[in-house]
Each structure stands twice: as C-alpha cells, then as structure tokens.
Amino acid sequence: MTKTIFSRIIDREVPAEILHEDDYCVAFRDVSPQAPVHVLLVPREPIPSIMAIDAAHAKIVGHMWTVVPKLAEQLGLDGGFRVVVNNGADGGQSVDHLHWHILGGRQMTWPPG
C-alpha cells in the first residue's frame, strides 16, 4: 500500500507545521488554507475514510474528538469554528486517509458548498 501524504507527514518525510501530536493523532496546518485558520487532524493509523471506521477504531476516533477543543483553544478560536470531514470523491475527499478539517478565524457561511 502506498503511503498517503499524511502518513509521510506523520513519519516526518514531508515537512509540516505540527501543532499537536500524541499516540493516536497528529495535527498540522493545511498547506492550502480555506480559512485564516485551517488545521488538519489525522489519525496515525491510515484509516482510508469514514466508511472504513469500525468498532476497532472507536478509541482513536473518540480521542481525536477530544483533541479538537484543545486545538481550538490553542488556536484562539474563541468565536467558533467548523469541523469538516469529507468522505469519498463526491464528498470532496482528496486524500484517502481519514482527516478532520478545523476551520476558523472568520465567519463561516451556510450552506458550505
């Protein structure tokens, strides 16, 4: 299996501005930000998508959700933020490695797109 760009960032083969890392996940700034603050939160385990999550991933996914508010606080997103998880080509997923987009620093519009 070919390593995703996110796996390569986790393994420090590709540089990134790492904001958080622990045994389960890594967060880093998006290189093509869609908001003033745009951070990606990815599991260390290369889970391909939402559709690949199963009971064995519950601890990882649950932990990642506990990291989101810590990152938001660290990033000064007191006024609010958005968390987006794309799934599949039609959902806008461009890397086959589960990831959360944490977006903030401006008013988010609805519908998103």
Q: Which residues are known to be catalytic? A: 99
Cis peptide leading into residue 111 (ω within 30°) = yes
For residues 43 and 21, give the distance between their C-alpha atoms in angstroms, rounded to a whole number. Answer: 10
For residues 7 and 12, give the distance between their C-alpha atoms in angstroms, rounded to a whole number. Answer: 9
Q: What amino acid is encoded at 55 in this protein?
A: A
For residues 100 and 7, give the distance between their C-alpha atoms in angstroms, rounded to a whole number. Answer: 15
For residues 108 and 104, give the distance between their C-alpha atoms in angstroms, rounded to a whole number. Answer: 8
Residue whose tokens read 């700034």: 29
